[in-house]
Amino acid sequence: MCQQAHGLALPSWASPDVLRTLAQISALDIGAHVGPPRAAEKAQLTGGILLDAILANFSRAQRLGLPLKMVMYSAHDSTLLALQGALGLYDGHTPPYAACLGFEFRRRLGDPEQDAGNVTISLFYRNDSASRPLSLSLPGCPGPCPLGRFRQLTAQARPPIHGVPCHSSREPPALAAPVVPLLGGAVAVLAALSVGLGLLAWRPSCLHTWEDPV
């Protein structure tokens, strides 16, 4: 892809049919990473982290009144794909060379308050340097999306406040805390009984009895 973008000659094996097949294989691989099943859970470990950072940067600038106008991230195409997956905007195509995904935060003019209810987010995707960026819509919120609604729709794709759990949600829940001391006490009692019975069995009188002929 980079060679094509810079007008360099491709290897002899890179025929149109081979490139088309590779593109199809790549689309299947990407879809498995950012799409179903359990797309939201996968997004929490990939593109949802970057999405959460973008929203956090805006909230911080808004809360502290910083004169921040733009934040730029330099990333690989795989990072952009993960972000598209977290937003539910992956369309099966690999981002072209120098692609860009933009978030535009706007506050309605005339509103004295600067809370989330007055702020909207617009998404733009530039996949061709010779054309203007495309306007995108978050699924479930067409047009400029209110910030509160945007957060609500992307909550499942962003990491939870306390971090992503390392175990699967399908694993059985851990034993309740009060059960652990009870199990420990039961094991201790059984161990004490075993030791007591062992000492009783090996007393000299018992040995003398066992040595007598039957």
Overall number of domains in the chain:
2
What number of other Cβ atoms are within 10 A of residue 34's Cβ?
Answer: 23
Q: Look at residue 38 and give its three-state secondary structure.
A: coil
Same domain for 50 and 152, yes or no, is yes
Q: What is the pLDDT of residue 55?
A: 94
User: What does the pLDDT average to over 113-122?
Assistant: 72
Same domain for 120 and 187, yes or no, is no
pLDDT in tens, 165-196: 665 555 554 544 444 455 555 555 555 555 55
Same domain for 102 and 188, yes or no, is no
Same domain for 195 and 136, yes or no, is no
Domain holding 198, by residue range, is: 179-211
Q: What's the CA gap between 192 and 211, in Å, rounded?
A: 28
Same domain for 123 and 205, yes or no, is no
Q: Look at residue 204 and give its three-state secondary structure.
A: helix
**Is 126 within the bounds of a domain?**
yes
Helix or strand run (H / E) with residue 81 = helix 77-87
**Is 9 within the bounds of a domain?**
no
Same domain for 146 and 201, yes or no, is no
**Is 3 within the bounds of a domain?**
no
pLDDT in tens, 38-53: 989 999 999 999 999 9
pLDDT in tens, 91-111: 888 888 889 999 999 987 655
**Is 56 within the bounds of a domain?**
yes
The CATH number given to whatever domain includes residue 51 is 3.40.50.1240
**Is 36 within the bounds of a domain?**
yes
Strand partners, 121: 105, 145
Q: What percentage of the chain exceeds 70 in pLDDT? A: 71
Per-range mean pLDDT, top range of 22-26, 50-54, 62-66: 50-54
**Is 189 within the bounds of a domain?**
yes
**Is 142 within the bounds of a domain?**
yes
Q: What's the CA gap between 134 and 153, in Å, rounded?
A: 21
pTM of the model: 0.69
Q: What is the DSSP letter of 146?
A: E
pLDDT in tens, 155-172: 999 998 877 666 555 555
Provide the CA 61 distance to its chain's centre, in angstroms: 24
